[in-house]
Structure 1
Amino acid sequence: MSDIIKNGRVHVDEWTVLRLAEGDEAATIVLPAGRVIVPLAVWQARREELLPKAEAGVLGVWLAGNEDPTELAGDLSALPLIAVDFPKFADGRGYSIATLLRTRLGYGGELRAIGNVLRDQFFFLLRCGFSVLQPQEDKYTPAQLEAALASLIDFTEPYQGAVDRPEPLFRRQPRRPLHKEAA
C-alpha cells in the first residue's frame, strides 16, 4: 500500500487504483476487492452495476488528462472520490480538470492527484482543489513526505486567487490611502 497526504497528514492509502493493461476490456475487467478507483471507461461501460458501490463509498473514478470531467457531471453526488491521473510531471491538464470539478461542476468530495505527483507540485495541486495527494508508490520515504508536508506552509498568504482562496491578496487586505488628503 502506498502513502497519501490527506488533511495535512501522511496516511496509509486504503484505495486501489485500477489501471487497464493492453487488451483489457472495460466492460469485463475483474475489479479488485475493497475500495477501488476505476478508470472513466470502466465507469461508463458498467455504470449501473458500479453505482451502488459508489453510493456505498467503496468505488471512485479516475480521469486521464485528455478526458472531460463533464462526463461525470450527472454522477458527482454519488462519487465519494474522483482522481485525476498525472502520467508525467510536465502534463498540466490535471490542474485544469481539478479546477473545473471544484468550480464549475461544484464537486465537493475527495479529489485525488494520482500518478507522477511530485513534491514540487504539492502546493499548487492543493491550490487547484485537490484534497489528497498520492505520489507513486516508493517514490518518497516517510521522512521525505513529512518534509514535503512541512514545506506546504512555506507560503502562508498566496498572492493569486485559486480554488482554495478565490480572492487575490490585494482583495483580502485592507487598503490604506497613499497620501493624506489636503484639508
Structure 2
Amino acid sequence: MILRRAFYWWLFPSAVILPAWLLVGWAIFGGGGWTFLGLLIACPVLFIAMLAIGGIIAARRSVREARAVSWYDVGLLAAWHVSIIAFGCFIPGAAGWIAVLGILLGLAMFWVSLWELLVETRARVQLTFDAYERAAQPDQAGRPDPGFVDGGEYIVIEERRDEE
C-alpha cells in the first residue's frame, strides 16, 4: 500500500519534474542543438500527457478514496517514468529506442487508465441503477393476485331463518 500511495502522490509533481529532467539531462550529458529543439517541442507535450493521465487516474473514485493507485498503474507508471529518466541520460545509440519505448508506454498508460476508469464507473452506475430499480418496485410477495384488484370493504350480513 505504501508503494501505491507513493505513486499517487508522485502523479502530478512528476508532470513537472520529468520534463524538466529532460532539459537538465540534455545540459549534463551534452545533447546537440537539434536535440534541444526537439526537447522544446517534446517537453510541453510530455507535461500535458502526464497531467491528462494523472487526471484520468485521479478521476477514479477508488483512487481518491484510498489515495492510492492500482497495481496496474504502479507497473506502467514505473516503467514509463524509468524510460523518461533513461531518455534524459541521452545514451548514445539507444536514445531513439528509449524514446519509442517511452511513447509506447505513455500510450499504454493512457489506455489502461481510461479502461480502469470506464470499468469502475460502469460498475458504480450499475449498482446505483439496480438500487434505484429495487426501490421503485417493492417486493411483490405480500401483494394479492394482480387479476383481483378490489380495495373495498366487505360487509357480511347473515340472515337467519327462524323455523317456526
TM-score grouping bracket, smaller chain normalisation? under 0.3
TM-score, scaled relative to structure 1: 0.19
Which is helix-richer, 1 or 2? 2
Which is strand-richer, 1 or 2? 1
TM-score, scaled relative to structure 2: 0.20
* RCO higher in structure (CA 8 A, sep ≥6): 2
